[in-house]
A = this chain, B = another copy of it.
Amino acid sequence: MKNSAERLDWALNRCAESQLRMTPVRGAVLDFLSEQRKPVSLDEISQAPGVKGQYDSTTVYRTLMVFKDAGLVRNVGIMRRTSHFVMSVPGEVNYFLVCERCGSVVELGLTSGMLANLEHLALENGFATEGQSMDLHGICRNCKSASARRAPASKVMARYCLV
């Protein structure tokens, strides 16, 4: 994976190519995203140091949509309720393991062999392979042990979801 500066550089170039005007918000969002290695939520971006208090969250949202359409970021469906975004730098693969219960995210280190296999499989099924992201949903160790201590089904009704 490239370093932050390289990623930012790429993004800036990409913006220019797409003829997107460079504005303060966009710059700030790109700055923040270039430093992130995992998908971040819209809210996290709005709360980021250079963004919080400076710009309206609706604007941040629209900024992300523009970036998404220009192919700069990918909107990853990691959690059910909230959108997460990752910078979509060529050559970087974003494969994550996400916990279905607590939402924790871990980067998945796929071997190049597995990667090739997956891409081949995807292609076979009529999917484009470039710029894709994958998330493997499971239950992380913490939540796993928490559920072992889970109350019986009759009690579970009370909250529907014990984490």
Using a CB–CB cutoff of 8 Å, the interface residues on chain A facing chain B are: 18-20, 62, 65-66, 68-70, 74-80, 83, 97, 99-100, 106, 108-111, 114, 117-118, 121-122, 125-129, 131-141, 144, 152-154, 156-157, 160-162
Q: How many copies does the complex hold?
A: 2
A-B contact pairs, 12 of them (CB 8 A): A69-B153, A70-B153, A77-B78, A77-B80, A118-B136, A122-B138, A126-B140, A131-B139, A132-B136, A132-B137, A134-B135, A134-B136
Q: Which of B121, B133, B139 contacts A109 (CB 8 A)?
A: B121
- Known A144-B128, A153-B70, A160-B69; contact A77-B114, beta-carbon cutoff 8 A: no
A15 to chain B, nearest CB (A): 9
Q: Does more than half of chain A's interface fall in helix, strand or loop, or is it mixed?
A: mixed
- Known A128-B144, A137-B133, A153-B18; contact A77-B79, beta-carbon cutoff 8 A: yes
